[in-house]
Amino acid sequence: MLLVPWLAGVLTAGFRWVHLPLLGAWLAGYLASYYVFQAVKTRRLNRFRAQLVAYAVPTVLLGGLVLGLRPSVLWYAPAYALLLAVNAGYAFRHRERALANDLASVAQSCLMVFVCATVAGAPLDRVLPAFLAVTAYFVGTVLYVKTMIRERGHVGYYRASVAYHLVILAVAAWFRAPVAILFAALLARAIVFPRRRLTPKQVGLVEIVASVLLLVAVTVPGA
């Protein structure tokens, strides 16, 4: 969920060298947030002080560089602040695996498509199809992965996952053919794989392949 939205944004908006420090700040910021939420969860800030400093410093330096060169990215700050507050709230209550918390994380990640467009000076409508496809994919993945691991055998989650993928496939039919084909394959995955005994590693490998195909579907001309 970190690299795919960044790549989708860069490939559809056009690469600028400022995207590199943005990526560095994005990755370091994710690691810093992980330890922030661990500190919130355990109420033991001192335990994670070294990690917080180690990742906060590059986040601030690289993020400051991006902000200095592209101050318009500040428009996204309120959305990220709100979504991070949602994550912190669930961490405080020891409910990080809640569906709403996962969806908040998806929203944070997918907003990066728009951030990359703003950094490139590209209009947001240029990357809107990529944003919609990436968001639809990751929301579906949250539901699907739950049926494979933490909610395996849960009929409600399975039905929700299949129903979601059916709806998204119907919507994807209005987009490029490669996107529709991909979501048809994702629907088949959501139906068939929960009935199989895949290991978490196998589930992850399938998602890596799906992520690559998603990037091809939304970014390669004539794909």
Same domain, 108 and 3: yes
By residue range, what is the domain housing residue 108?
1-122
Same domain, 15 and 59: yes
Same domain, 41 and 109: yes
Note the pLDDT of residue 223: 47
Note the pLDDT of residue 220: 76
DSSP state of 2: -
Mean pLDDT split into 10-residue runs, the chain, 223 residues: 96 97 97 96 93 96 97 97 96 94 97 98 95 96 94 93 96 86 96 92 95 92 55
Per residue in 111-137, pLDDT (tens digit) is 999 999 999 999 999 999 999 999 999
CA–CA distance from 85 to each of 39, 40, 44 (Å)? 14, 11, 18
Listed residue (213, 122, 121, 124) closest to 176, CA to CA:
213
Q: How many domains does one find in the chain?
A: 2
CA–CA distance from 150 to each of 2, 88, 97, 144, 166 (Å)? 22, 21, 9, 10, 22
Q: How far apart are CA 179 and CA 139, in angstroms?
A: 15
> In this structure, what are the phi and psi dihedrals at residue 31, rounded to the nearest 5 degrees?
-65, -40
Listed residue (7, 51, 6) closest to 33, CA to CA:
51
For residues 134 and 5, the answer to whether their CB atoms sit within 8 Å is yes
**Given 122, 145, 180, which residue is the final one in a domain?**
122
Residues 7, 10, 15: CA angle, nearest 5 degrees: 135
Same domain, 71 and 4: yes
**Given 61, 92, 122, which residue is the final one in a domain?**
122
Same domain, 139 and 51: no
Note the pLDDT of residue 168: 95
Same domain, 221 and 132: yes
Note the pLDDT of residue 221: 66
Same domain, 157 and 98: no
94: left (phi over 0), alpha (psi -120 to 50) or beta: left
Q: What predicted TM-score, i.e. pTM, was given to this entire model? A: 0.94
Same domain, 73 and 172: no
121: left (phi over 0), alpha (psi -120 to 50) or beta: left
